[in-house]
Chains A and B, each alone.
Chain A
Amino acid sequence: AQKITQTQPGMFVQEKEAVTLDCTYDTSDPSYGLFWYKQPSSGEMIFLIYQGSYDQQNATEGRYSLNFQKARKSANLVISASQLGDSAMYFCAMREKNYGQNFVFGPGTRLSVLP
């Protein structure tokens, strides 16, 4: 079974608009971390934002925020005021405390920002 699901293979958004990228996860571990990474066409993986399973508030980092709904096991990334440079692949990843220290990645969502 997939541990991380990203149901949107591709998304389009108009410049300056907000966009939500979906991520749902599956774990029985009560302690876990959720991460979002951006991968531009150049290939590198850039860390964007982190949400802990025990965090009471949704994480925010500049224009990035995470809509964390624990009961639904979803951790959607919200990008506000999209910029052309936001066009990239976006990966949701999870790390479970009791299942090792490696990340499990989702299949990614390709975001295209339109001028």
Chain B
Amino acid sequence: EPEVTQTPSHQVTQMGQEVILRCVPISNHLYFYWYRQILGQKVEFLVSFYNNEISEKSEIFDDQFSVERPDGSNFTLKIRSTKLEDSAMYFCASSELRGQKETQYFGPGTRLLVL
């Protein structure tokens, strides 16, 4: 069964460093998402992406964040200058279509720790 994959599974970085989290969505999916989950808290929406542009973003997704689909398969989240409070699990998700019925399939997550 096709699945969303994410790399790396864990990332440790120093405050102020740039990190890039990578995702490979399910191949025939067109809509891509990033969510984050701070330890012990609920999952929060960051950004959605369609047709090579951001379709929505939350207030969490400030200028330090960017997303890109550099080729036909990868979908990346970049954090330019990490802060301690960026430590979280970051989930990539994808869905085939747009619509309130569409299930989003989540990747296994990348656990980011900023020191």
Contacts and interface: CB of A to CB of B under 8 A. Distances in A.
Interface of A: 31-33, 35, 37, 42-47, 50, 52-53, 91, 93, 95-97, 100-108
Contacts of A105: 42-44
Contacts of A101: 31, 33, 48, 55-56, 95, 98, 100, 102
Contacts of B48: 100-102
B108 A44 contact: yes
Contacts of B105: 47
B34 to A, nearest CB: 10
A110 B95 CA distance: 26
A108 B42 contact: yes
A46 B3 CA distance: 11
B109 interface: yes
B56 A102 contact: yes
B74 interface: no
12 contacts: A32-B100, A42-B108, A43-B89, A45-B93, A53-B100, A95-B100, A100-B48, A100-B56, A105-B42, A105-B44, A106-B42, A107-B42
B101 A33 contact: yes
B108 A104 contact: no
Nearest to A46: B106
Range class of the B interface residue count: 20 to 34
Contacts of B58: 102
Contacts of A45: 43, 91, 93, 106, 109
B100 A97 contact: yes
Contacts of B93: 45
Interface-centre pick from B48, B91, B106 (highest chain A CB count, 10 A):
B106
A37 B101 contact: no
Nearest to A97: B100
